[in-house]
Amino acid sequence: MKFTEIKSCYVGPAISPEQFIPEHFFLYLAKGRMNGYDGSQHYTLQPGEYCLVRKNCLGRYNKQRQDNEFEKVIFIFDEIFLKEFQKKHSIQSSESQHFDTFIRLRYDQKVPEFVASLMPYYTGDGQSNKDREDVHREELLLLLLQLQPELSSVLFDFGVPGKINLEAFMNRNFRFNVKLERFAYLTGRSLSAFKRDFKQVFNDTPTHWLVQRRLEEARFLIEQNKQKSTDIYLDLGFEDLSHFSFAFKRRFGINPTELV
């Protein structure tokens, strides 16, 4: 199966550039390699593999070109589409099951064959026929549910995150560069309740604690793992290298390059 005439394609609404995942989406990798991270686990997707990325989670992913090529096809399953789909096909809610952020789907030849069948609907710049988008999403979702019915417990759960253990969540997710409102939402709290509970748990403000926790992790990675500042500052939630270096020296009294 060849994908020689397209670049990366998206079907459905645009996905958020943040590391917060607001909607479920299906990802098929045609060329290259993709690495994902959810705060505790690393995932790798090779050409011909596909997965479902779960909403209301924190995650990030990066691409690696192969022979200077990288192509993926993404279907966004937003809540409006899913509710209409559930009503149309009379799907009953199933018992909730635990799934990772990146759900690796069982391989079945029908899936790459379906993706390949969509290629005539895409232009060279990866744009799809807007009139056919919902039809394609519906066909794909019917196929996925036929192959793995247990996915319905993820896709058709429209509840908001419930209140969870704040300390465990923050120690797992401090590396993600998202707003405090996101952290509050994902822990099942209002922003004010999040700040109040955070103070009780960590005896610190969220903003100050996040910076200090990231800097401590940075020092460990540089000293123990011999990693470079340029390779880790983005993964630790810092937006630019100069800010990271300034904060590091302010915290430890030395530049990060002096530890190498």
* pLDDT, position 118: 85
Asked whether residue 19 falls in the same domain as residue 141, the answer is yes
Assess if residue 175 is contained within a domain. Answer: yes
99 and 142 housed in the same domain: yes
Do 197 and 115 belong together in one domain? no
Please write down the long-range contacts of 45-48, taking CB distance under 8 Å and 24 or more positions apart: 48/112
Asked whether residue 225 falls in the same domain as residue 104, the answer is no
**SS3 state at 116:** helix
Domain boundary, last residue among 155, 181, 211 = 155
Report the length, in residues, of the chain. Answer: 260
* pLDDT for the residue 5: 39
Residue type, 125: D
- 190 and 65 in one domain? no
CATH number of the domain residue 55 falls in: 2.60.120
Domain final position from 118, 135, 155: 155
Per-residue pLDDT at 113: 95
- For residue 2, the model assigns a pLDDT of 40
Same domain, 235 and 130: no
Per-residue burial over 36-45, b = 16 or more CB atoms within 10 Å of its CB, e = otherwise: bbbbeeebeb
Residues 105 and 146 in one domain: yes
* Assigned domain for 2 exists: no
- Assess if residue 236 is contained within a domain: yes
pLDDT at 245: 95
For the stretch 107-134, pLDDT in tens is 999 999 999 998 776 655 555 556 678 8
pLDDT of residue 14: 63
CA dihedral 25, 26, 28, 34 (to 10 degrees): 50
Q: Is residue 90 part of a domain?
A: yes
Which domain, by its residues, includes 24? 9-155
Whether 161 is covered by a domain: the verdict is no
Cα angle 22, 40, 219; round to 5 = 115
The answer on 147 and 191 residing in a single domain is no
Q: Are residues 88 and 122 in the same domain?
A: yes
- The reported pLDDT for the residue numbered 124 is 55
For residues 175 and 136, membership in a common domain is answered with no
pLDDT of residue 200: 98
What is the CA angle 193-195-196, rounded to 5? 60
The number of distinct structural domains making up the chain is 2
Q: Which of 130, 155, 180 is the last residue of a domain?
A: 155
CATH number of the domain at 172, please.
1.10.10.60
Which value, in Å, is the radius of gyration of the alpha carbons in the chain? Answer: 21
Asked, for residue 160, whether it belongs to a domain, the answer is no
Ranges of residues in the chain whose predicted pLDDT is under 70 = 1-8, 13-18, 94-96, 121-131
Pull the structure tokens for residue 237: 């939630």
174, 204, 213, 231, 233 from 200: Cα distances, Å: 17, 8, 17, 34, 29
What pLDDT score was predicted for residue 11?
79
78 and 133 both lie in a single domain: yes
Are residues 146 and 19 part of one domain?
A: yes
Kindly state whether residue 3 falls inside one of the protein's structural domains.
no
Residue 181 maps to a domain: yes
